[in-house]
Amino acid sequence: MNILYVACGIPLPGTLGGSTHAREVARGLAERGHVVHVVAAPAQQSLASLAIPGVTVHTLAVPKLLSFLGDRQIDRWCGRIAPDVVMERYYNFAGGGLRAAARRGIPTVLEVNAAIIDPPAVLKRRIDDLLGGPLRRAAVAQCRLAGRIVTPLASTVPDAIARERIVELPWGAAVERFTPAGDEPARPAHVVFLGSFRGWHGAADVVRACGRLYDAGMQFACTLIGDGPERAAVAALAARWPGRFRFCGAVPYERVPALLAGATIGVAPFDTTRHPALRAAGFFWSPLKVYEYMAAGLPVVTTDLPPLNRIIRAGQEGELFAEGDVAALARALERLLRDPSRASALGRAARERVVAHYSWARHCAELERIMQQLVTHG
């Protein structure tokens, strides 16, 4: 198939989780023999680092809030490329790919990675309500243009949309790229956090929990990879334990596997109390860091919330703790740090589980099935 993948708000290549997602979807579909054209935001890195056979990146420099200004260019690309199917990543103000496809009778897939309708606690929703709901109407209109909607959690999609058009599909990990470090003798204990420095990702809780263990005399390293609005505050908190925490900042995707390979425990302390939409709709955020920890053969410590507690099962691939409970997070880390043999066994089980159920290859095979069904049967 000739596929047009519209992801206007995502820099490609880039260091964001969304950049990894778009990159691996494009790669996975191309590796299955398809020709993939990606419309993306300007790259955060050299396009040379995204040399994937079968993938062409078209850059569209339009702010997310003004995505509609890119419609004419997307329409031109759609006419020139003549795709068999168009897939678009959902944004409030996007939809140019879906509209271009509708004008030409081309089958469409809408990719949804967050709640389409924000809960009342979110400022954007309150403004939309005051204006009479134009964002909600535009969101539902996008959904109605799509032949299928793929999302990690069906509750992200408005009730007005028929459930049979929705396919729940988790993200994954590049299991051939993220691999265990191997049987190195007695690697030093090393906790790693990978992700955005936003409140609901829990980076500050990682520092607080590890700080408790340092105060108790435990010896281990802790690395935090990523960037975001709370990084400076988290670094200031970490300064209470001089020399204990390493901050890498945002790093190119190509460097992440080696950084994870140097660790022995991955931590993902998500806290939905800091994210009203997650609290209202359920944990719709597909946890990329968790899958990549698993692929790297790390036992994972994460929050006891669905679907996290279905991906990581307590005592099988890692440890779970009560949301927001820093003391419980510290105890979970301590159990693994004090029993490295058990931690290694859980890491091996995590690797087996992600290869079997949560690889990007599996994700792309399902996308291919959905697209072929639309192209063949509509």
DSSP3 helix / strand / coil % (the chain, rounded to 5): 45, 20, 35
What domains are defined for the chain? 2-172+359-377 (3.40.50.2000), 190-357 (3.40.50.2000)
Partnered with residue 149 across adjacent β-strands are 110, 166
Average pLDDT over residues 93-120: 92
Model confidence pLDDT, tens digit, residues 168-225? 999 999 999 999 986 555 678 999 999 999 999 999 999 999 999 999 999 999 999 9
Strands 2-11 and 221-225: unpaired
Q: Which two tokens stand for residue 176?
A: 């051939």
Check residue 17 and give its pLDDT: 87
Q: Please check whether residue 93 is in contact with residue 68, taking contact to mean a CB–CB distance below 8 angstroms.
A: yes
Two tokens, residue 195: 């992700």
Please report the pLDDT score of residue 44 as a whole number: 73
pLDDT digits (tens, 9 = 90+) for 198-209: 999 999 999 999
Q: Which of 61-75, 142-156, 163-177, 261-275 is predicted least confidently?
A: 61-75
Distances in Å between the alpha carbon of 300 and those of 197, 259, 330, 339, 346? 19, 15, 13, 14, 8
Of residues 33, 100, 57, the one with CA closest to residue 368: 33
Residue 378: the pLDDT is: 67
Contact assessment for residue 214 and residue 245, using Cβ atoms and an 8 Å cutoff: no
> pLDDT confidence of 266, banded at 50, 70, 90?
very high
Cα of 144 vs its chain's centroid, Å:
25
Give the pLDDT score at 47: 65
Torsion, Cα 51 296 272 242, to 10 degrees, reads -100
Q: Residues of the chain with pLDDT > 70: what percent? A: 97
Q: Report the run of H or E that residue 307 belongs to, with start and end.
A: none
DSSP-based three-state secondary structure for 125? helix
Task: Grade residue 51 by pLDDT with cuts at 50, 70 and 90.
Answer: confident
Token readout for 89 is: 């990543």
Average pLDDT, the chain: 93
Please report the pLDDT score of residue 184 as a whole number.
56
CA 140 to chain centre: 23
Over residues 9-46, the pLDDT tens digits come to 899 988 888 999 999 999 999 999 999 999 999 987 66
Residue type, 192: V
Confidence class of residue 336 from pLDDT cuts 50, 70 and 90? Answer: very high
342 against 69, higher pLDDT: 342
What does residue 267 show for φ and ψ, rounded to 5 degrees? -125, 135
Outline where the chain has alpha helix (H): 17-31, 71-81, 96-104, 123-130, 134-145, 203-215, 231-238, 256-261, 276-281, 288-295, 308-311, 326-337, 340-357, 360-377
- In the predicted model, is pLDDT for residue 143 greater than 90? yes
